[in-house]
Structure 1
Amino acid sequence: MSPLLIVVGGLPATGKSTVAAELARRTGFSFLRVDTIEQAVLGSTALTPPLGPVGYVVARAVAADLLRTGVSVIAECVNPLAVTRDAWRDTATAHGARLLEAEIVCSDPAEHRRRAETRDTGIAGHVPPTWAAIVAREYEPWTRERLVVDTSRVPADEAAAVIEAAARPRR
Structure 2
Amino acid sequence: MLVTTALIVIGGLPGTGKTTLSRLLAARIGAVHLRVDTIEQALVRSGLAQHPVGPAGYVVGYALAEEHLRQGLTVIAESVNPLAVTRDSWRDAGAGAGVPVVEVEVICSDPAEHRHRVTSRSVDIPGLPLPDWQQVRRRDHEPWNREHITLDTAGEGPQDSLNSLLHQLDRLRLLAPARPPEAS
Whether TM exceeds 0.5 here: the answer is: yes
TM superposition score normalised by structure 1: 0.95
Query: How many residues of Structure 1 are paired with residues of Structure 2 in the alignment?
Result: 171
Q: What's the secondary structure of 2:86's corresponding residue?
A: helix
Query: Which of 49, 61, 65 is the equivalent residue of 1:59?
Result: 61
Aligned to 1:126: 128
State the 4+ residue runs in structure 1 displaced beyond 4 angstroms.
Answer: none
Amino acid at match of 2:145: T
CA 138–67 in structure 1, closer or farther in 2 if over 3 Å, else same: same
Query: Which of 37, 41, 44 is the equivalent residue of 2:43?
Result: 41
Q: Do the aligned residues in 2 keep the contact of 1:4 with 1:99 (CA within 8 Å)?
A: yes
Structure 1 regions of 5+ residues with no counterpart? none
Larger Rg: 2
Aligned to 2:173: 170
Structure 2 regions of 5+ residues with no counterpart? 175-184
Query: Which of 12, 29, 32 is the equivalent residue of 2:31?
Result: 29
Name the % identity. Answer: 46
CA 4–46 in structure 1, closer or farther in 2 if over 3 Å, else same: closer
Aligned to 1:158: 160
Q: What's the secondary structure of 1:123's corresponding residue?
A: coil
Higher RCO (CA 8 Å, separation ≥ 6 residues): 1
Aligned to 1:11: 13
TM superposition score normalised by structure 2: 0.88
CA 123–82 in structure 1, closer or farther in 2 if over 3 Å, else same: same
Q: Deviations over 1:1-52 (max 9, x none)?
A: 6410000100011110011111111111000000011111101115211111
Amino acid at match of 1:108: D
Computed over aligned residues only, the root mean square deviation of the Cα atoms, in angstroms, reads 1.4
